C-alpha cells in the first residue's frame, strides 16, 4: 500500500490546485489545503492512494462533480495525479464568521463529544432529516457517470455548519467504498451485512442513519444488544424507540424499505414532538403567570398594611429660649448704632430674607437657624417689646450677662440668648460658631494588586503525534483547552500535524485548570492504568459487563474503541485495585 508523505506533496499541483499544507488524514487518504492557481480560491484537496477507493472515485467522477445539494459537501474537481487520485472539495466552516476559504471545520463526532450534556431531540431530528435528504438526492440523481456506491457513513464524515436556521449537516465522502480497517475493527456504524463483507445497499445506509440517531440522542454508539434510547433518557418522544429499533434491525427485511419510508416515519415523529411541546409550554406559562400574580398581590397587600398601621414619628421638641431676669446691679445698655429699638405696638422694619411676624405675646421666640453670623439680624418678641439686633453688642454688661461658650470639638453653631427689658425694649446677643477640627490621621495604605500566575511549560509532558491526530483530539484527550494547547506549543489554529511530531501536553493534575504549575522537586511517576481481559458471554453488553465488574461504562467502551461485542470475544476491562 502506498503511504502518502506530506512533505513530498507540499507545493505540488493537483489539477488546478496547488497544495499548501496538510490539514487531515483518514483511512482513505490525506487532505491538504489547496489554492487555485488562477482564482486563488481555496479548497480541501484529498489525495487517495492507488486502490479500490481511488478507482471508485475516478469511475464516478462525473456524477460527483454534478451533485449540488445544500446538505452535501460540494465536489469541485476529480482526476489523477501520478499514481494517485485527487478530489477537490469546497471548504465547510462551522462558524459563519470564519473567513471564506478556511477549514475551521467540526465533525459530528467532535460536536457530540464536546457537549457537557445530551443534545436536544429536535437537534437530532434535524440532523437525521438533513442526511436523509442528501442520501435520497445522491442516489436518485442521474449523472454522467455510474451510480454511486452505498454505505461508508460515519460521524467523522458528517460536517456541521451554523446557518440562520440553526446548525445543519453536510455529508462528505459520498460514493467511497467501505475501508477494510472498519470491517476489522467491527465499526458500530456498519450494518451486519457490511461486516460480513457483503455489498452495501440502501438498507445499509438506513442502518447507519439509525446508529447516528442513537449517537445524537444518547451520546454513544448503539450497544449490542440494543438498549432503547428512552431507557437512557426520559425527556424524549417515545416514538424514537420504534424508529431506531426498525433502523437497527439485524434482519434486512425488518428495516425500513428505503429512504422514503424512513422519511415518513421521521415526519410523524417530528409532528408528535410539535404537538406535545406547545401544550407543555402553555402549562408552564400559565403556572408562571399565576405565581407572579400571587407574589404581586402579596407584596401590594403587605405595603398597604404597613402604611395603614404605621405610627407617624413625633416632631422633635423645640427647646424653650432661656430668659435672664434683669438685675438691679446691671447698668442700662447704651443705645448703639447697630441696635434698633422698637417700642411696643410699633411695626418692625422689613429686612430681606428675614421673617417679620412677631411671636405670640408672653413667649420667647427661637432664633431662626442659618442666620447667625456677622452682619445678620435676629428678631425677638417679648411682652415689653421687640428688639432687632445687628452686630454683636459691645457693652460690658451684656458680656457679663452672656457667659462665653464652653470649648467643644463639634463643628456646630452655639448660640446664647439674653433678654434685657429696659424701657419696653429687649436685646439679643450671640456667640460665633466654633469650627470642627480637621482630622490629621494618616490614610490607610492602598491594597496591593493581586498577582496572576503566569503560564509556564512546567508540569507538562511530551506527546508523540499519531496518524490521524488533530489538535482538537489531542486537547480533548488530555483534558486541555484548545487555546491552551496552541499557546503552549506556539502553533496556529490551522497548523497541520504530522505523524511522529512531539507536542507539549499537560499532566492530568495540571489539565484541570489549564494553568501549568511547576511540580514539586520530587514527584512520583504517574500510575499506569491496570487492565485485564474478559471473555464476552452470550447476551453480554457494555452495560451488563460494567454493572457486573463495578466499573464505568464509558471507560469500558473507551478501552475497546466502542466496538461491537461478540460471544467468545476477549475485551479489555479495568482491573480491580
Same domain, 183 and 210: yes
Kindly indicate the confidence band of residue 313, based on its pLDDT and cuts at 50, 70 and 90: low
Whether residue 195 is predicted with pLDDT greater than 60 in this model: the reply is: yes
* Percent over 90 (pLDDT), the chain: 27
Q: What is the CATH number of the domain that holds 160?
A: 1.10.510.10
227 CB-contact burial (10 Å; exposed 0-12 / middle 13-18 / buried 19+): middle
d(CA 472, CA 207): 29
Range of lowest pLDDT (111-125, 232-246, 316-330, 563-577): 316-330
Considering only 50-59, 264-273, 526-535, which range has the smallest mean pLDDT? 526-535
**Maximal CA-CA distance, the chain:** 137
How many structural domains comprise the chain?
Answer: 3
Opening angle at CA 354, ends 351 and 355, nearest 5:
110
What does the pLDDT read at residue 528?
A: 55
Q: Is the same domain home to 46 and 81?
A: yes
- Alpha-carbon torsion 539, 542, 543, 548, what sign? positive
Higher-confidence residue of 265 and 404: namely 265
Q: Is there a domain that residue 348 lies in?
A: no
CATH code, domain carrying 559: 3.10.350.10
Give residue-wise pLDDT tens across range 379-404: 444 444 444 444 444 444 444 444 55
Residue 330 has pLDDT above 70, yes or no: no
Quote the pLDDT of residue 404.
52
pLDDT band at 357 (very low <50, low <70, confident <90, very high): very low
The mean-pLDDT minimum among 64-73, 424-433, 498-507 falls in 424-433
pLDDT band at 497 (very low <50, low <70, confident <90, very high): confident
Predicted confidence (pLDDT) per residue in 463-475, tens digit: 888 887 888 788 8
Among 497, 519, 541, which residue terminates a domain?
519
Domain termination residue (choose one: 217, 242, 274): 274
pLDDT of the residue at 298: 93
Which of these ranges, 23-32, 161-170, 176-185, has the smallest mean pLDDT?
176-185
Average pLDDT over residues 15-36: 90
The least confident of 59-68, 138-147, 166-175, 380-389 is 380-389
342's grid cell:
422698637
Of 136-145, 223-232, 552-561, the least confident: 136-145
* Structural domain contains residue 458: no
A 10 A CB-CB count for 157 gives 21
pLDDT 10s digits, 149-165: 778 788 988 999 888 87
Residues 538 and 513 in one domain: no
Q: Is the pLDDT of residue 172 over 60?
A: yes
User: Which cell is 411 given?
Assistant: 463643628
DSSP 252: G
Domain membership of residue 504 (yes or no) is yes
Kindly give, in sequence order, each residue whose CB lies less than 8 Å from that of residue 434, ignoring residues fewer than 6 positions away: 405, 407, 408, 410, 411, 412, 414
Domain assignment present for residue 162? The answer is yes
User: What SS3 state is found at 183?
Assistant: helix
Question: 126 lies in a domain?
Answer: yes
- Do 125 and 193 reside in the same domain of the chain? yes
Predicted confidence at residue 508, as pLDDT, reads: 57
**Residue 259 belongs to some domain of the structure:** yes
HSE-up (13 A, CA, CB side) for residue 382: 24
pLDDT band at residue 268 using 50, 70 and 90 as cut-offs: very high
The pLDDT tens digits for 530-570 are 778 888 888 888 888 888 888 888 888 888 887 788 888 88
* pLDDT tens per residue, range 473-488: 888 888 888 788 888 8
End of a domain among 481, 498, 519? 519
pLDDT(148) > 70: yes
Task: Say yes or no: 543 and 506 in one domain.
Answer: no
Which structural domain range is residue 75 located in?
Answer: 6-274
The mean-pLDDT minimum among 139-148, 165-174, 333-342, 423-432 falls in 423-432
Q: Which stretch of 247-251, 379-383, 501-505 has the lowest confidence by average pLDDT?
A: 379-383
Least confident window among 84-93, 306-315, 372-381: 372-381
Is there a single domain that holds both residue 71 and residue 162?
Answer: yes
Query: Based on the domain organization, do 493 and 563 belong to the same domain?
Result: no
pLDDT at residue 170 tops 90: yes
Please indicate, yes or no, whether residues 484 and 565 belong to a single structural domain of this protein.
Answer: no
Amino acid at each position: 500500500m502506498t503511504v502518502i508523505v506530506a512533505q513530498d506533496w507540499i507545493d505540488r499541483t493537483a489539477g488546478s490546485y496547488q497544495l499548501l499544507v496538510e490539514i487531515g488524514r483518514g483511512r482513505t487518504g490525506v487532505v491538504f489545503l489547496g489554492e487555485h492557481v488562477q482564482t486563488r480560491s481555496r479548497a480541501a484537496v484529498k489525495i487517495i492512494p492507488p486502490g479500490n477507493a481511488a478507482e471508485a472515485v475516478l469511475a464516478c467522477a462525473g456524477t460527483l462533480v454534478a451533485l449540488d445539494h445544500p446538505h452535501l459537501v460540494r465536489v469541485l474537481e476529480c482526476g489523477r495525479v501520478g499514481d494517485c487520485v485527487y478530489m477537490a472539495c469546497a471548504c465547510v466552516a462551522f462558524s459563519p464568521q470564519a473567513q471564506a476559504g478556511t477549514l475551521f471545520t467540526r465533525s459530528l463526532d467532535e460536536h457530540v463529544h464536546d457537549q457537557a450534556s445530551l443534545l436536544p431531540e429536535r437537534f437530532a431530528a434535524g440532523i437525521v432529516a438533513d442526511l436523509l435528504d442528501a442520501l435520497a438526492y445522491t442516489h436518485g440523481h442521474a449523472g454522467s457517470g455510474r451510480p454511486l456506491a452505498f454505505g461508508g457513513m460515519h460521524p467523522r464524515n458528517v460536517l456541521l455548519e451554523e446557518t440562520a436556521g440553526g446548525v445543519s449537516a453536510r455529508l462528505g465522502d459520498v460514493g467511497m467504498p467501505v475501508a477494510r480497517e472498519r470491517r476489522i475493527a467491527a465499526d458500530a456504524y456498519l450494518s451486519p451485512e457490511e461486516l460480513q463483507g457483503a455489498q452495501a445497499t440502501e438498507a445499509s445506509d438506513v442502518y447507519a442513519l439509525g446508529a447516528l440517531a442513537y449517537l445524537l440522542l444518547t451520546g454513544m454508539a448503539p450497544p449490542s444488544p440494543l438498549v432503547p434510547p428512552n431507557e437512557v433518557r426520559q425527556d424524549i418522544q417515545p416514538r424514537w424507540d420504534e424508529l431506531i429499533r426498525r433502523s437497527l434491525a439485524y434482519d434486512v427485511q425488518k428495516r425500513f424499505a428505503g429512504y422514503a419510508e424512513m422519511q415518513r416515519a421521521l415526519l410523524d415523529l417530528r409532528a408528535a414532538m410539535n404537538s406535545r411541546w406547545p401544550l407543555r409550554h402553555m402549562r408552564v406559562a400559565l403556572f408562571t403567570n399565576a405565581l407572579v400574580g400571587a407574589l404581586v398581590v402579596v407584596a401590594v397587600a403587605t405595603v398597604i398594611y404597613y402604611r395603614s398601621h404605621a405610627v407617624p414619628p413625633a416632631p422633635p421638641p423645640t427647646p424653650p429660649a432661656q430668659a435672664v431676669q434683669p438685675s438691679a446691679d446691671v447698668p442700662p445698655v447704651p443705645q448703639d448704632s447697630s441696635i434698633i429699638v422698637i417700642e411696643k405696638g410699633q411695626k418692625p422694619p422689613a429686612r430681606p430674607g428675614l421673617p417679620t411676624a412677631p411671636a405670640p405675646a408672653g413667649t420667647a421666640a427661637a432664633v431662626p437657624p442659618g442666620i447667625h453670623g456677622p452682619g445678620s439680624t435676629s428678631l425677638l418678641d417679648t411682652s415689653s417689646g421687640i428688639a432687632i439686633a445687628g452686630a454683636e453688642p459691645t457693652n460690658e454688661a451684656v458680656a457679663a450677662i452672656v457667659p462665653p461658650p464652653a470649648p467643644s470639638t463639634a463643628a456646630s453653631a452655639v448660640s446664647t440668648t439674653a433678654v434685657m427689658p429696659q424701657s419696653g425694649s429687649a436685646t439679643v446677643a450671640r456667640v460665633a460658631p466654633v469650627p470642627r477640627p480637621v482630622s490629621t490621621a494618616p490614610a490607610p495604605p492602598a491594597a496591593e494588586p493581586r498577582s496572576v500566575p503566569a503560564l509556564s511549560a512546567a508540569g507538562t509532558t511530551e506527546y508523540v503525534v499519531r496518524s490521524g491526530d488533530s489538535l482538537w483530539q489531542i486537547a480533548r484527550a488530555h483534558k486541555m483547552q484548545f487555546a491552551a494547547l496552541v499557546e503552549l506549543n506556539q502553533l496556529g489554529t490551522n497548523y497541520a500535524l504530522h505523524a511522529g511530531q512531539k507536542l507539549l501536553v499537560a499532566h492530568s493534575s495540571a489539565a484541570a485548570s489549564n494553568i501549568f504549575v511547576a511540580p514539586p522537586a520530587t514527584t512520583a511517576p504517574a500510575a499506569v492504568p491496570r487492565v485485564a481481559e474478559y471473555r464476552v458471554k452470550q447476551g453480554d453488553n457494555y452495560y451488563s459487563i460494567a454493572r457486573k465488574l463495578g466499573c464505568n461504562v464509558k471507560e469500558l467502551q473507551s478501552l475497546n474503541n466502542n466496538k461491537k461485542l461478540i460471544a467468545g470475544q476477549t475485551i479489555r476491562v479495568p482491573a480491580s485495585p
